[in-house]
Amino acid sequence: MGNLFGRVVWLKNETDRVIELKESRRSAPHGLYSYTIRLDRFQQKKIGATMFHRRTKLAARPTVIRIFVDGVDLFDKVLTPQNFIDYFRISFRAVEDEKVIVRGVRATRSDQFRRTRLVGSLISGLRFLIGNDEHGGQGEDIV
């Protein structure tokens, strides 16, 4: 689970396709991945914001996170470990020509508290008192 006070990032699949994020070292042969996150259709998942950064430091080699849609690699779209630190929420959306857009929402000051596992869980439990779940600033394209 990680540190109770560690920051988290929400991954949100807003498509009707399966999205996979696969961690790859820059010098590794194609098809060799060290970690995979799977997002089923319209699923959202919370992961540690510094997980990929920490894994990169342990391996002592640069890392990229490749995006797969229904098992097909989007060669022109990769994420870096820094993207998971910079954004509060990363969403995947489909546009009319079957392309997938990756958008990120940077956290506002009040969202910084929600980024910790403990406080975020408490606030989610008391959501009926604080209103809707729309947090963060304006979304921006990442890749």
The string of pLDDT tens digits covering residues 128-142 is 455 444 545 678 888
* C-alpha pair distances (Å), 59 with each of 7, 46, 104: 21, 23, 26
| Least confident piece of the model among 17-21, 44-48, 52-56 | 52-56
| Least confident piece of the model among 23-37, 59-73, 113-127 | 113-127
DSSP string, 51-94: HHHHHHHHHTS-EEEEEEETTEEEEEEEE-HHHHHH-SEEEEEE
Q: Is the pLDDT confidence value at 37 over 90?
A: yes
- Please state the pTM of the whole predicted model: 0.76
Sign of CA dihedral 71, 40, 115, 89: positive
CB-based contacts of 22: which residues, under 8 Å, 6+ apart? 33, 35, 36, 37, 65, 66, 68
Q: In what order do the strands lie in the sheet with 89-94?
A: 44-48, 8-13, 89-94, 100-105, 139-141
Nearest Cα neighbor of 142 from 76, 43, 61 is: 76
